[in-house]
C-alpha cells in the first residue's frame, strides 16, 4: 500500500532537486506556532496519512495574522484532528505565501507506461477543466516546452518566456526526482507562481 512520506522528508527530497518550498515546521502548541511565525502571516494544517485532502476535511487554516488567530487556529485544528480520530497526526505551520497562479506538478506510475510527470492549473481547476499535460519520464527540455504549450491555460501559467523557462525547469527537476526515487505518486498542488519565482506549498509524496 502507498505510504505518505513525512512532510519534512518530502521537503528534503525536493530541496535535493532544487525545488523551492515554503518555510515550514511542525508545531506542538499555539505558542510554538507564534514563535515560528515571528510576526509574519501564517498557515497551519493537519497532516495525517488518513487525511489526504486536508481543506475538504477542515484541516487547513489560512490567513493567520495575529497571535490570537494563530493560537485559536492551533486549538481548532487539534480538536478537529481528534474529532476525526486521526491517529499519528502532526500540525504543520507554514509561512503564508503571497497569492499567485496555482499550478499542479505531479507524477504517478502507470501500469502500462511507467513513470509519468504532469502539469496543469492547480487547485479546484485540475478537476474542473482537466487541463493537464502528461509525459513519460524522463523528459527533456523539448518535452517540458511541449507540455506547457499543449495546455489551454498556457497563457496563464506561462505568460512570458521567463515564466515558461521557470515552469520548464521545474518540470525537468520533478521528472528527475521521479526517475531517481521510489515514488508511487507526487502531488505538488499547488505550486504558486510569481513573476520572479515560485513556491511549492502542498507537498504530497507517496512511497
**Contact between 60 and ligand ADP (CB under 6 A)?**
yes
**Contact between 202 and ligand ADP (CB under 6 A)?**
yes
**Contact between 96 and ligand ADP (CB under 6 A)?**
yes
> How many whole angstroms separate alpha carbon 187 and alpha carbon 17?
15
Contact pattern for Mg ion over residues 134 through 153, marking x by CB under 5 A:
--------------------
Of 9-17, 60-68, 159-167, 195-203, which segment contacts Mg ion by CB under 5 A? 195-203
What sign for the dihedral angle of Cα 31, 32, 33, 36?
positive
DSSP string, 122-156: -TTHHHHH--EEEEESS--HHHHHHHHHH-TTHHH
Q: Which of 14, 33, 45, 64 binds ligand ADP (CB under 6 A)?
A: 45
**Contact between 55 and ligand ADP (CB under 6 A)?**
yes
Contact pattern for ligand ADP over residues 162 through 181, marking x by CB under 6 A:
--------------------
CA max distance for the chain? 52
**Contact between 189 and Mg ion (CB under 5 A)?**
yes
Q: Which of 11, 95, 168, 202 binds Mg ion (CB under 5 A)?
A: 202
> How many whole angstroms separate alpha carbon 115 and alpha carbon 134?
10
Q: Which of 15, 62, 113, 197 binds ligand ADP (CB under 6 A)?
A: 62
CB proximity list for 135: less than 8 A, separation 6 or greater: 116, 117, 118, 143, 147, 175
For residue 99 the three cell numbers come to 497569492
CB of residue 104 to Mg ion, shortest distance in Å: 8
CB proximity list for 57: less than 8 A, separation 6 or greater: 51, 80, 84
Binding site for ligand ADP (CB under 6 A): 22, 43, 45, 53-55, 60, 62, 94, 96-97, 102, 123, 189-190, 201-202
Amino acid at each position: 500500500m502507498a505510504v505518505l512520506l513525512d512532510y519534512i522528508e518530502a521537503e528534503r527530497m525536493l530541496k535535493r532537486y532544487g525545488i523551492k518550498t515554503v518555510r515550514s515546521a511542525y508545531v506542538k502548541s499555539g505558542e510554538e506556532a507564534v514563535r515560528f511565525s515571528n510576526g509574519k502571516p501564517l498557515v497551519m494544517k493537519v497532516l495525517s496519512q488518513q487525511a489526504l485532502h486536508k481543506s475538504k476535511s477542515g484541516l487547513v487554516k489560512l490567513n493567520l495574522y495575529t497571535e490570537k488567530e494563530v493560537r485559536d487556529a492551533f486549538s481548532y485544528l487539534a480538536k478537529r484532528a481528534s474529532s476525526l480520530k486521526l491517529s499519528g497526526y502532526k500540525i504543520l505551520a507554514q509561512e503564508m505565501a503571497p497569492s499567485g497562479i496555482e499550478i499542479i506538478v505531479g507524477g504517478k506510475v502507470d501500469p502500462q507506461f511507467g513513470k509519468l510527470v504532469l502539469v496543469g492549473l492547480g487547485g479546484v481547476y485540475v478537476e474542473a477543466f482537466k487541463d493537464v499535460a502528461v509525459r513519460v519520464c524522463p523528459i527533456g527540455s523539448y518535452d517540458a516546452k511541449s507540455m506547457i504549450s499543449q495546455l489551454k491555460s498556457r497563457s496563464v501559467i506561462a505568460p512570458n518566456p521567463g515564466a515558461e523557462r521557470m515552469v520548464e525547469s521545474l518540470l525537468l527537476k520533478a521528472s528527475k526526482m521521479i526517475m531517481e526515487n521510489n515514488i508511487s505518486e507526487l502531488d505538488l498542488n499547488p505550486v504558486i507562481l510569481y513573476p520572479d519565482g515560485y513556491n511549492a506549498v502542498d507537498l504530497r509524496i507517496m512511497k
